[in-house]
Amino acid sequence: MKDKTTTTEQAMALIRDGDVVTTTGFVQSCIPEMLHAALEKRFVNEGAPRDLTLIMCAGAGDSKGLGTGRLHHDGLLRRVIAGNFGRMPKVAQAAQENKICGYNLPQGVISQLYRACAAGQPGLFSKVGLHTYVDPRHGGGKVNSVTEEDIVKHVEVDGEDWLFYKATKIDVAFIRGTSADRSGNISMEREALTLDCLAQAMAAHNNGGIVIAQVERIVEDGSIKPKDVKIPGLLVDCVCLADDPDMHRMNYGVQHNPALSGEIRVPVEGIAKMPLDQRKIIARRAAFELPPNGAVNLGVGAPDGVAAVANEEKATPYITLTTEAGAVGGVLAGGSSFGSSANADAIIDQNQMFDFYDGGGLDLTCLGMAECDAEGSVNASRFGGRLNG
């Protein structure tokens, strides 16, 4: 039997110049902080690895330098494919200054592309992104002038317009879990979300790459029940123990909340109410549209207040609120905990949630925006000199 536990230094030494690296993490939650810090440390000390491609779905950082924000050093990254640049402002600045290549693709498309990579497929057909700046007729998701390669194509199938997103093979996957045995089997009992860890691990493994997992504890082989194993040890190469609790926080604002991980259920009456301000007025107006017995998605920012209003008005039992990160039901969390849910009915993988959304499963969604014109065209991507995503 192979013992896959190792140090972060030994794990980072396996990453080569030019590798394609993907990482889990959603906004401020479920981020393998120790692995990002170790990669940064190796580059600062050794000048290697260089010219990496970073692929990720949502932002994964605190917007002040943690998470993927650690990877801003000149020469570390050559290219970024991401659904959000706002959580790593120095990396976004490098893209705006033409120092690196960059693509801003839809979060759900990237999430589903992990599965395409795992299955050895060339890419993904989707209608998501048609007629936006992701459409190759309007820029193909490229964020600057030095980004030349086309990774999105416009195609026609049976008379219908589609976008074809090219799958980029993955060499290294950074994932995160709660418990791991020495064979690499990983469970997520204290995690708020499962995200795309399984698909990312499978994509890297099937490409002959490496999977590096950050976990909270090491357990004896055989002590994790088979149905509780979220990532089989078959897919995992390195298991790194997060011996510093600050490197394995549930999110940047919460060390651990068992209600968000589904370990306990809490009385919803005790969940904090929003103060009566402009954000609450907007959230209350949106809450008027909640359909009884409907499936609803809430976006980040102002929309997360809709969950607080629905709970305050005791409407939560009569609707099913969801987040694209995979939370189904309960009282959706806001702030640093956005993406997770207290008293959730279920937590599914992010790519599965986007399958549900893309297939038309939602009755309503409440989304945030930076700008909107009189015709209803929305900008949530570039504003105030920022590349957000």
- Point out the catalytic residue in the list 40, 269, 324, 375: 324
Q: Which two tokens stand for residue 120?
A: 């050895």
Q: Residues with Cβ < 8 Å from 225, sequence gap 6 or more?
A: none
160 labelled catalytic:
no
Distance between start and end Cα atoms, the chain:
44
Q: Residues with Cβ < 8 Å from 28, sequence gap 6 or more?
A: 61, 62, 67, 87, 251, 252, 253, 336, 337, 338
CA angle in degrees (0–180, nearest 5) for 119-152-60: 70
Q: Which two tokens stand for residue 298?
A: 């809430």
| Angstrom distance (rounded) from CA 105 to CA 143 | 10
| CA-based nearest residue to 203, from 16, 2, 22 | 22
Q: How many CA atoms lie within 13 A of 37 on its CB side?
A: 14
| Angstrom distance (rounded) from CA 329 to CA 311 | 12
| Angstrom distance (rounded) from CA 388 to CA 86 | 4
| Angstrom distance (rounded) from CA 239 to CA 216 | 10
| CA-based nearest residue to 169, from 205, 140, 134, 126 | 205
Residue 126 has φ and ψ, to the nearest 5°, of -155, 150
Residues carrying an active site annotation: 324
